[in-house]
Amino acid sequence: MELEQALKLWQPEPGWLNTATYGLPPEPAWAALQEALADWRVGRTSWEGWGESTERARAAFAGLVGVPAADVAVGSTVSQMLAPVAAALPPGATVVVPEVEFTSNLFPWLVQAERGVEVRTVPAGGLVDAIDAGTDLVAFSLVQSADGTIADYDGIVAAARAHGALVAVDATQACGWLPFDAGRADVVAVGGYKWLMGPRGTAFTYLAPALRERLRPDAAGWYAAGDPRTSHYGPPLRLADDARRLDISPAWFSWVGAAPALELLAEIGVPAVREHDVALANRFLAGLGQPPGDSAIVTVDVPDARDRLERAGIRAAVRAGRVRASFHLYTSQADVDLALDALIG
């Protein structure tokens, strides 16, 4: 689908610059969710159609990040998806993490302290140099939620491989606008309600097959079975052979809304999304006299910025003491200019 045609599929109120908090659904996603809710309200249909949305979403996500769908597990949150990886670390392992890392990719490692797992935090810019022979796993956000900084993915992966360390990536703030190859890491977890524009309660994890064999699916239920349709009752344990053994039973309606949004992203193409989003972010930066960047998330330090934006009806966020603005497919040049008028007018 051409970008200009796709942009007509959103109806935002002017001034939404906060996709880094949550994304807005395109019309196909909204319509599918309303139809499912209407059916649920009156008991018009069975659940199987809703369940198929999970598999559609899994396939679309896999295509976006360049991995086989069989290597993708689905769940509800990033921390829940990372928990089996943290639990599989050997006692006494060392994890290296940026010092300002979102806690969904920090707490799962920290809670392993009772097993002697050490979490060493370092400045984000020094992550490559901090990886050494004593590092068992390096965990980082591909795009930092605090300020939009894009990590040195290539450099971090190369350093980790040189020292035999695992690589765990939280790509929640990247997936949907920043093209990347998930298969270069060992685990890539993504929350689906931001740049993927699905409802909250959807999450994906790419798990490299070699790592997956080391994980124990402690949350396994009927949906983690090789054939969920025949795994409602009784032993023996019969888990899926692929990443689905790490699945949790899907919250149907969240996935009903997620699948069309992901499929639309696939139609548009992530490179086109990146060009659109970053161009708007750079229009915003230029208006404030700042140099261009390479991220769809920017932070600004303008006196009274938060109050000025709120008075103008601009919805942004404050992270690390600065106003954070984020730009996605439904953001327009008019939204950017409205924000600039509020900040410099």
Summarised one tens digit per residue, pLDDT across range 190-218 is 999 999 999 999 999 999 999 999 999 99
pLDDT at 228 over 80: yes
| Same structural domain, 137 and 185 | yes
CATH number for the domain spanning 279: value is 3.90.1150.10
| Same structural domain, 201 and 141 | yes
* pLDDT confidence tier of residue 51, bands split at 50, 70 and 90: very high
pLDDT at 319 over 80: no
Query: Phi, psi at residue 95, to the nearest 5°?
Result: -115, 130
Q: Which of 75, 113, 81 is nearest to 94 (CA)?
A: 113
| Same structural domain, 298 and 334 | yes
> The pTM is what?
0.96
* pLDDT confidence tier of residue 242, bands split at 50, 70 and 90: very high
pLDDT score recorded for residue 345: 72
Range of the domain at 242: 48-266
Structural domain count, the chain: 2
Compute the mean pLDDT over every residue in the chain, rounded to the nearest whole number.
96
| Same structural domain, 135 and 283 | no
Measure the CA–CA gap between 231 and 209, rounded to whole angstroms.
Answer: 24
* pLDDT confidence tier of residue 306, bands split at 50, 70 and 90: confident
Domain assignment present for residue 113? The answer is yes
75 contacts: CB under 8 Å, gap ≥ 6: 81, 203, 204, 205, 246, 247, 248
pLDDT at 263 over 80: yes
